[in-house]
Structure 1
Amino acid sequence: MTTSTEAPAARPTSAAQAADLPQIADPRKVAPRDARAMSTIFFDRLQILEEGTHEYQYARNTLIEMNLSLVHFAAKRFRNRGSGEMEDIVQVGTIGLIKAIDRFELSREVEFTSFAIPYIVGEIKRFFRDTTWAVHVPRRLQELRVTLARTKEELVGRLDRNPTVAELAQYLDLAEEEVIEGLIASNGYTAGSLDMPIGSEQSSADTVTYGDVTGGDDPGMELFENLHALAPLLEGLASRDREIVAMRFGQEMTQSQIGVQLGISQMHVSRLLARILIKLRESMLAP
């Protein structure tokens, strides 16, 4: 008795699997309606193509370029944010589109458009959250700022005035201290320039900027730096020289008192102090 076995059908190669994919010269010119229909075909092939092959890259890149209109659609919502160029927003939104393409599965039975938009918008919002604050604050406070802004707008409409901290806290079910912390953190969202003129009625010759009246050099900074540089030099002195400096400048003793303490004349103390100070000064000024 003989048996015959049939050879298993050869598994199609990735090239054969991609052979029936439409060859699109410029995917960016595909109309959005056509892109939705063609995306289904490309996603279907993408699931069976071998990652890293030329055919896989063609399918993936075509999906990205065909659906760039979704990025531009989402980016329009952020045109008036006042931060960042539209090119940067589109670039960041494209990262969200790529993430959506890499995570989308046809088995979800969801339109790719509905799946991708939250990814794109989320990436753009993350960009604004992480890059547009003038001062870095914790993410918790960044999110609280947005909540407070919306709540204030709503309560202004109800009360016909700005709400108090207590009213904001009661509405949001938060402690007043937390609301105050959020309001203070909001000041870090934008920063004004120190070159901005104060007032609007001054002539250009008399213009005074915030930099002219705000801040200044700390008078104690130079003293701190000098003392910091002097410390190791004092450590390098002989023990008696270090004791004389401590008595004269630490305990504010007179030269006569130091002489009595050390059993030497006031003149001798004066000569010793002069020698010590010259040595320290030369060491301080040495390059």
Structure 2
Amino acid sequence: MIAATASRTEADGKTAGLPEVTDPRTVAPKDARQLTKAFLERLAVLEEGTPQYQYARNTLIEMNTSLVRYAAGRFRSRGAEEMEDIVQVGTIGLIKAIDRFELSREVEFTSFAIPYIVGEIKRFFRDTSWAVHVPRRLQEARVELARATEELRSRLGRTPTVRELAELMSLSEEEVIEARMASNGYNSSSLDATIGGEPDGETVLSDFIGAEDPAMGLVEDFHALAPLIAELGERDRQILHMRFVEELTQAQIGERLGCSQMHVSRLLSRTLKRLREGMLTTR
């Protein structure tokens, strides 16, 4: 795997001062640890952008891919398809660790790199796992809320109140309520998903979502109109009843009241105008 011949390395200039690693991804972890230290020492003195610098940096990345897969292993429950995405994201954390590592820290590169790799993976989940996008502060508040709820539940033996959670988290009650509402955006369900426990096995979530009823818009008007009608005289209320409840024509109303259709029309117009003005005043 490793051709450590100085003559060949110095001859091509590309790997000057470093062993040539034919296939960095196949280097054993034990060897990778030793080689990583040597490559980091060399990388610290090389000029950025030179072929030697690029060779050292790229070899470090490929040689420590196993470190990324090790860190990504704790997220294997996400599934095989998503695991490749996790490894790619973790590699970004590895690159950041390589670029920011300082030999003066006197710490193992592995100990330094793992937090960068895991942090990048967690950031990936935080930004992409939500079904509905919510602000970062609410995503973080959701995690704190879950921890605080569990702590108080075990301490009190019951579900904590909003006030108790607010005191523990040093937040206002409004912020706790907002964090609870934001939690609903983490997961989503299809409207065609069947509801568990239903005997027919065919009931779906959309069956429980009400449709808009156009008549509901009239409810408020009816409540405002009722006291106005109550203030009308007996004859005006009678005319309204015959016209809009019994649905009689103005001529038929006139026959019942013993007056002309024209007179019924004037009475009806006057009454409707009074009601209309009263409705506009109450709004």
Query: What TM-score, normalized to structure 2?
Result: 0.65
Q: Does the 8 Å CA contact 2:14/2:51 hold for their aligned counterparts?
A: no
Unaligned stretches of 5+ in structure 2? 1-9, 216-283
> 2:204 is matched with which residue?
209
Tell me if the contact between 1:95 and 1:120 (Cα under 8 Å) persists in the aligned partners.
yes
> How many equivalent pairs are there?
206
Matched, 1:70 2:70: no
Distance 2:51 2:210 in 1: 61
Q: Is 1:125 equivalent to 2:125 in the alignment?
A: no
Query: 2:227 is matched with which residue?
Result: none
Q: Give the residue type in structure 1 aligned to 2:34.
A: A
2:43 matched to 1:46? yes
Q: Are residue 104 (structure 1) and residue 106 (structure 2) matched? A: no
Task: Give the alignment's Cα RMSD to 1 decimal.
Answer: 2.7
Q: CA offset at residue 152 of structure 1?
A: 1.5
Matching residue of 1:259: none
Counterpart-to-counterpart distance in 1, 2:212 and 2:12: 70
Residues 1:49 and 1:203: Cα distance change in structure 2 (over 3 Å):
same
Distance 1:218 1:97, change over 3 A: farther
State the SS of the aligned residue for 1:195. Answer: coil
CA contact (8 A) 2:13 2:52 kept: no
Residue-by-residue CA offset, 1:178-202 (whole Å, 9 max, x unaligned): 1111111111111111111124333
Structure 2 residue corresponding to 1:198, chosen from 169, 191, 195: 195
Pairing 1:46-195 to 2, within 5 Å after superposition = 46-80=43-77, 85-195=82-192
Structure 2: how far apart are the matches of 1:218 and 1:82? 44
Partner of 2:219: none
Q: Does the aligned pair in 1 maintain the 2:68–2:117 contact within 8 Å?
A: yes
Is the 8 Å Cα contact of residues 18 and 49 (structure 1) preserved in structure 2?
A: no
Kept after mapping to 1: 8 A contact 2:17/2:42? no
CA distance in 2, matches of 1:151, 1:76: 28
Equivalent residue, structure 2, for 1:34: 31
Q: In the alignment, residue 208 of structure 1 is paired with which amino acid?
A: T
Structure 1 Cα separation of the partners of residues 80 and 101 of structure 2? 31
How many percent of aligned residue pairs carry the same amino acid? 67
Deviations 1:67-87 (A, max 9, x none): 112212221222336897111
- Give 3-state SS (helix, strand or coil) of 2:194's partner: coil
Unaligned runs of 5+ in 1: 1-12, 221-287
Deviation at 1:129, TM superposition (A): 1.0
In structure 2, the residue corresponding to 1:80 is in which secondary structure?
A: helix
Tell me the amino acid that sits aligned with residue 106 of structure 1: L
Q: Report how far residue 15 of structure 1 moved.
A: 5.8
**Worse overlay, 156-165 or 126-135:** 156-165
Q: Deviations over 1:207-247 (max 9, x none)?
A: 12112342557869xxxxxxxxxxxxxxxxxxxxxxxxxxx
Residues 46 and 52, structure 2, Cα contact 8 Å, conserved in 1: yes
Which amino acid is 1:108 matched to?
A: R
**Residue 18 of structure 1 aligns to a residue in which SS?**
coil
Q: Does the aligned pair in 1 maintain the 2:166–2:172 contact within 8 Å?
A: yes
User: Counterparts of 2:20 and 2:11 in 1: how far apart (Å)?
Assistant: 15
State the Cα deviation string for residues 222-279 of structure 1 (Å, max 9, x = none).
xxxxxxxxxxxxxxxxxxxxxxxxxxxxxxxxxxxxxxxxxxxxxxxxxxxxxxxxxx
Say if 1:18 and 1:45, in contact at 8 Å, map to a contact too: no
